[in-house]
């Protein structure tokens, strides 16, 4: 039990230290090559209109002069830690080092591959928006379809691994039992991954996405630990450590944003971990701030289209609605963090006992 706790905590701390160490080097290149969007995602003169309060509090100048590829800090730190611990166990074989190695074929290899692959897709997306001047740089519908199909491909490949390699067809119904989906497990997995990725709209304020994601992966580390999936627990803790390193430099004013390379990697691997721990139906509770934020966008779009351009929120996603009401960005982020921690704790307890 003690060695398992150390196996979870020590790599997480190592990832945090590595993340802190590599950030100054990476930040130099972020600013040297001006890795930020040239146009703001939301502006005070957008077609749907925003309130004067939103225009006052929303720092557009900061948004278009802050690098958007900060997520590379997270996945590079995670990758370095994972490979370092693995190589130590291979180059210096011993009982203690082999126990600390959390890279295992049945628990963490595929999540790690999905994590890095999604990060590279996201990085490509970021580079297109930063450096390209073509039609794709405008984030049009055609380009978004390409990105969604890329994500569907990732989900399809991972779901095949679950179905054929692990024989996974069952999902756990909270406080009821298991339900066998059969071949329908594959489309269910893909839909869940797309739904999880839709929550990427939360990446819009300094430290917001980082704080929420840190709580979620810490929660899943605890869940996996109590399910005796120690390698997954270590992997989730390592990701949380990488996020905390990112967050150290993302406290307002942010030195960089997470970008697609970070948020896509985190949402994809979050989906994979939820299925590996068989707690996917607890995910909406654990990640409730993500769910609510994504839902606010869907509601806003549908109401705007169907009810003569009426709006439920002043601005969507939800955190920008609060900004339009006059809340400071710091107040919004802190309150999101608090709610995120409460939801993560509640979801972890329910997943463990349910």
pLDDT tens per residue across span 25-56: 999 999 988 888 766 554 433 434 444 445 55
Q: 210-267, pLDDT tens digit by residue? A: 999 999 999 999 999 999 999 999 999 999 999 999 999 988 788 899 999 999 999 9
How would DSSP label each residue in 78-107? Answer: HHHHHHHHHHHHHHS--HHHHHH----TTT
Section 141-169 average pLDDT: 86
Q: Where are the domains of the chain?
A: 2-353
Q: Is the pLDDT of residue 188 over 60?
A: yes
Q: Is the pLDDT of residue 316 over 90?
A: no
Confidence band for 145, pLDDT divided at 50, 70 and 90: confident
pLDDT score of 53: 47
Percent pLDDT > 90 in the chain is 60
pTM as predicted: 0.91
Confidence band for 195, pLDDT divided at 50, 70 and 90: very high
pLDDT score of 45: 39
Confidence band for 62, pLDDT divided at 50, 70 and 90: low
* Least-confidence region, from 103-112, 203-212, 277-286, 288-297: 203-212
Confidence band for 66, pLDDT divided at 50, 70 and 90: confident
pLDDT score of 161: 92
Write 21-29 long-range contacts (CB < 8 A, 24+): 22/73, 22/76, 22/77, 22/80, 23/73, 23/245, 23/246, 23/248, 23/249, 26/72, 26/73, 26/76, 27/67, 27/249, 27/255, 27/256
Section 108-131 average pLDDT: 92
pLDDT score of 166: 86
pLDDT score of 43: 45
Q: Is the pLDDT of residue 284 over 60?
A: yes
* Least-confidence region, from 101-110, 144-153, 224-233: 144-153
Q: Is the pLDDT of residue 79 over 50?
A: yes
Query: How far apart (Å, rounded) are the C-alpha atoms in residues 84 and 155?
Result: 28
- The average confidence (pLDDT) of the chain is 87
Q: Angle at CA 220, nearest 5°, toward 289 and 178?
A: 95
Query: How far apart (Å, rounded) are the C-alpha atoms in residues 247 and 203?
Result: 13
Q: Is the pLDDT of residue 334 over 60?
A: yes
């Amino acid at each position: 039990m003690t060695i398992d706790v150390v196996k979870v905590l020590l790599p997480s701390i190592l990832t945090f230290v590595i993340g802190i160490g590599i950030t100054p080097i990476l930040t130099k290149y972020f600013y040297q090559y001006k890795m930020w969007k040239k146009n703001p995602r939301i502006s005070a003169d957008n077609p749907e209109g925003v309130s004067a309060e939103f225009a006052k509090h929303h720092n557009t100048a900061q948004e278009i002069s802050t690098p958007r590829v900060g997520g590379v800090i997270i996945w590079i730190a995670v990758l370095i830690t994972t490979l370092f611990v693995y190589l130590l166990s291979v180059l210096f074989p011993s009982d203690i080092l082999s126990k600390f190695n959390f890279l295992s074929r049945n628990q963490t290899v595929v999540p790690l591959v999905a994590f890095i692959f999604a990060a590279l897709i996201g990085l490509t997306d970021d580079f297109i928006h930063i450096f390209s001047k073509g039609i794709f740089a405008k984030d049009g519908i055609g380009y978004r379809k390409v990105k969604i199909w890329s994500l569907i491909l990732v989900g399809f490949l991972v779901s095949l691994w679950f179905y054929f390699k692990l024989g996974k067809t069952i999902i756990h119904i909270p406080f009821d039992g298991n339900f066998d989906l059969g071949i329908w497990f594959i489309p269910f997995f893909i839909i869940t991954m797309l739904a999880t990725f839709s929550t990427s709209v939360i990446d819009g304020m300094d430290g917001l996405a980082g704080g929420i994601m840190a709580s979620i992966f810490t929660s899943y580390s605890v869940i996996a630990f109590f399910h005796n999936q120690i390698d997954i627990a270590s992997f989730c803790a390592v990701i949380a450590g990488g996020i905390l390193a990112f967050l150290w430099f993302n406290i307002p004013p942010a030195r960089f944003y997470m970008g697609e390379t970070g948020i896509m990697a985190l949402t994809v691997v979050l989906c994979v971990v939820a299925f590996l721990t068989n707690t996917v139906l607890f995910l909406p509770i654990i990640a409730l701030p993500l769910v609510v934020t994504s839902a606010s966008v869907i509601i806003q779009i549908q109401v705007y289209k169907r009810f003569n351009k009426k709006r439920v929120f002043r601005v969507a996603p939800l955190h920008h609605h609060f900004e339009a009401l006059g809340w400071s960005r710091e107040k919004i982020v802190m309150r999101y963090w608090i709610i995120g921690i409460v939801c993560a704790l509640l979801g972890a307890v329910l997943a463990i006992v349910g």
